[in-house]
Structure 1
């Protein structure tokens, strides 16, 4: 299941990227013919009992008022006390725990994998939903079990009125522009900011493949600090060639344009920007999960010599760049051969053959030791 999709339904990927990606919603009927969900609602509820798994319950008519949000982990008694309808269970990052879901995510490699965030799965009782809302990221909503009625509305933003008295960002005003009933194998793509509202038509399960995108505020705050470290102190605001000032107290448009031009020059640091982008986009969503496996494969040389392999921790993320030659893993920029970095990001494994081809990575306190020590490289999980 590692081969990326070439079509979305009958639509070639090239057409989707040109006309729909980040532009407008698309309903894909029978995107996955004869789809069988890898996870049942009962199994999803079982995951929500675990401390390490992030889970939430949304009750439209809760004890504390409308659209009540409850945070996991939950107990069996919590589920036994739920009403018959109008509630939803959401479990984040299921791809980190279930191999079939991780395989499903790999089908979306027609997009940069470092843009992929995680796979959330929701189980809803009849009429369950999380209310009309919008997201700041792209999402593919794959119907896994049962039926869900999706309403899609106009774009919304921070200024859109919200319902008060709930921790959820429920839109106060919502008017559907399109409505579709999705059945297993159907999929809905939504670009950022399009308002939507999914309501279960009987019990159902929906798989959400989301994509991460840092905000402009985060990029400017974090990247500016990173780039500033590489600028020499002698670089200053300059204004050679001034004309006589009409008013010496005025900050005139020419001065503002001059600073803008100088900023463009100071920002022209492609290698530093690549390092920052690689580190930010590979930050683990749950670093504590990665840390749990730190050092567990410390005898990896012996294991690989016996024909074993090391694999990327399911909670880890990786990417690479060729200029500069860097492997980005879990927010770290690690210089290494770009041929190895490309291969590792594609396979997510390291074997004896890799050590023979790229011996530098096996040096004491080298790349492999570093990744094992931080929990990024582990032995293949038995149930993954």
Structure 2
């Protein structure tokens, strides 16, 4: 089986991480408990996403800068000066990764962390976009490269869910139940350092050695640490920044708090240190808040606002696939009626345009701009929004000249891209 056949272009992203149906994962594991799946059960590996040679290429040839790289040793994060240096003449920035310094630190037992690979390594970027679309929550990907018999970080928990994908070598993982379930982003493990250390000293929930192709789902809050065995170990950590009910609570309270009763001033001579006087004020305020939250109009407004804000956050958290400016300009300039059948376009991956139609026009709204076309282009737009590649000459309900005009406009606006092989 080829890498392409094993890759995310064929298999949905989530099914590469778990071997059970999506519904079973959602009901039994998502946000609840870990799930460890071996390579034998998954029937694949992750070599199409990342490899040992890819690590060397990124460190030696891609001029990475902080914060896209960091190093740690026995629980301590190393100062950037220990593994970065000036890029030399023509690239005089001081924080480019130094392959010589990385070699020295790695050979002495430090873990190398390549951060933000969903922005710097195309196969991982494609996988992360696909996984985020399936989960409905944004994803980011780091690689952890650990020398033999070394541990990079102390037992800790993350404030986001993770999928751990073992790429190379073996790593022993010890996982314990949470001391602070479902932590929010502003509730790091260091706030519970002593409880985390005490829990990590007890019997683990999972105590296993991961081999290439193994995958772990770990909800936020679960305590973990890992040690490489017998040789270099590489794994990917896919962080999932789950949107939470707390996001809804904040918006609902903000809407309810705008009621007249809750905008009123506190009593004259109010003393916040007088808890006896404060208690009835707090109780009556909470009662007013509960009453306001029960107002259907408040709930409707909060629902609308939550939808708008989470939609905006998701667009910001999960950017669409990058464009190829030069190739796009050349394809646009070469496009005419005679070449339309040979050019296949597809909706830009990760882009989620919002459409608005009038009697005369159809508009596609994306962050930063709105592209408006004649209403006659509606069927063509609908075909493009299906996400399936389409030849320019096959855009429905448009004559050949109009098909070219619409395709050129959408290419120049970055709403569609040339499909592979198109």
Residues 152 and 195 of structure 1 are in contact (CA less than 8 Å); yes or no, is this contact kept in structure 2?
A: yes
**For residues 197 and 79 of structure 2, what CA distance do their matches in structure 1 show?**
17
Match for residue 118 of structure 1 among 127, 140, 146: 140
Q: Does 1:297 align with 2:328?
A: yes
Match for residue 105 of structure 2 among 72, 78, 82: 82
Match of 2:78 in 1: 68
Match of 1:16 in 2: 25
Q: Does 1:3 align with 2:3?
A: no
Residues 8, 161 of structure 1: alpha-carbon distance in 2 compared, 3 angstrom cutoff: closer
Match for residue 186 of structure 1 among 199, 203, 214: 214
Larger helix proportion of the pair: 2
**For residues 36 and 256 of structure 1, what CA distance do their matches in structure 2 show?**
51
Match of 1:258 in 2: 291
Match of 1:279 in 2: 312
Match for residue 55 of structure 2 among 19, 25, 44: 44
Residues 172, 326 of structure 1: alpha-carbon distance in 2 compared, 3 angstrom cutoff: farther
Match for residue 392 of structure 2 among 344, 347, 352: 352
Residues 60 and 86 of structure 1 are in contact (CA less than 8 Å); yes or no, is this contact kept in structure 2?
A: yes
Give the drift of 1:90: 2.1
**For residues 33 and 215 of structure 1, what CA distance do their matches in structure 2 show?**
33
Match of 1:150 in 2: 173
Give the drift of 1:117: 1.4
Match of 2:5 in 1: none
Specify every segment of 5 or more residues in structure 1 that has no aligned partner in the other structure, as ranges: 165-169, 229-234, 240-246
Residues 79, 101 of structure 1: alpha-carbon distance in 2 compared, 3 angstrom cutoff: same
Residues 121 and 207 of structure 1 are in contact (CA less than 8 Å); yes or no, is this contact kept in structure 2?
A: yes
Give the drift of 1:27: 0.9
Residues 367, 280 of structure 1: alpha-carbon distance in 2 compared, 3 angstrom cutoff: farther
Give the drift of 1:221: 7.1
How many residue pairs get aligned? The number is: 348
Residues 99, 257 of structure 1: alpha-carbon distance in 2 compared, 3 angstrom cutoff: closer
Deviates more, 1:65-74 or 1:179-188: 65-74
Residues 326, 277 of structure 1: alpha-carbon distance in 2 compared, 3 angstrom cutoff: farther
Residues 312, 199 of structure 1: alpha-carbon distance in 2 compared, 3 angstrom cutoff: farther
Instruction: Write out per-residue CA displacement over residues 165-193 of structure 1, whole angstroms, 9 at most, x where no aligned residue.
Output: xxxxx965533432110101111110121
Larger Rg: 2
Match for residue 58 of structure 1 among 67, 71, 86: 71
TM-score scaled by length of structure 1: 0.68
Instruction: Write out per-residue CA displacement over residues 272-317 of structure 1, whole angstroms, 9 at most, x where no aligned residue.
Output: 5434322210215679x95x86687345534454333456777xx3
Instruction: Write out per-residue CA displacement over residues 116-164 of structure 1, whole angstroms, 9 at most, x where no aligned residue.
Output: 4133222221214233222222211111111011111222443754699
Specify every segment of 5 or more residues in structure 2 that has no aligned partner in the other structure, as ranges: 1-8, 85-94, 263-276
Residues 143 and 186 of structure 1 are in contact (CA less than 8 Å); yes or no, is this contact kept in structure 2?
A: yes
RMSD: 4.8
Q: What SS class does the counterpart of residue 184 from structure 1 fall into?
A: coil
Give the drift of 1:75: 1.7
